[in-house]
Amino acid sequence: MSEPNTTLPKEKQTALGLYLTAKEAYKKWQADPDQVMILDVRTPEEYLFVGHPPMAWKIPIIAQTYEWDVEKGQFPMKLLPDFVARVKEVTKPDATILITCRSGGRSAIACNLLAQAGFTKVHNITDGMEGDANGDSESAPQGGWKNSGCPWTKKLTPERMVLPT
């Protein structure tokens, strides 16, 4: 276990303490595309409507529920229990994996689940696909794969999707 990174919000910190920005992750992948995996853990709807890195494996960690949470005022998401098993279908615990989500929170959860399962080189892409909002709805997100000039597409690649059954 590594020491916490106090510059990152707690929800983006991981047990392994391996962090990259989207731009750094893309450069790391470019340097060794056969040995570095980019893993997008968002929902299929996000891949379709927001876009995704074309080289990424798409293995969702959560699913949308359709039971309204009155207290939170939203439809909550639920963790998919077979996430680690689906990742193991396409890679091994010693692989270098760079994980993205929307803005770094779900990817941190994915990093921690994989670390608990024995994966040792799992990096959180802390600004995710879209980056963080500036704090008000009028501002553009800061950072993120799409805002950093990294390649992305809305064209789905089923051969790189491992969805829950």
pLDDT at residue number 135: 54
Residue 33 has a CB neighbour count (10 Å cut-off) of 11
Paired with 31 in beta bridges are none
- Contact between residue 53 and residue 150 where contact means Cβ atoms under 8 Å apart: yes
Per-position DSSP letters for 91-122, written without gaps between them: --TTSEEEEE-SSSHHHHHHHHHHHHTT--EE
Pairwise CA distance, residues 153 & 53, whole Å: 6
> How confident is the prediction along the chain (165 residues), in pLDDT tens digits per residue?
455 556 899 999 999 999 999 999 999 999 999 999 999 999 999 999 999 999 999 999 999 999 999 999 999 999 999 999 999 999 999 999 999 999 999 999 999 999 999 999 999 999 999 998 655 545 555 789 999 999 999 999 999 999 998
The domains located in the chain, with CATH, are 10-160 (3.40.250.10)
pLDDT at residue number 85: 98
CA atoms within 13 A on the CB side of 70: 0
Helix (H) or strand (E) run with residue 38 in it: strand 36-40
pLDDT at residue number 143: 87
For the record, the structure tokens of 133 come out as: 């909002």
- Who's near 150: CB < 8 A, 6+ residues apart? 22, 23, 25, 26, 53
Pairwise CA distance, residues 42 & 60, whole Å: 5
Q: Nearest to residue 53, comparing CAs of 131, 164, 160? A: 160
pLDDT at residue number 134: 58
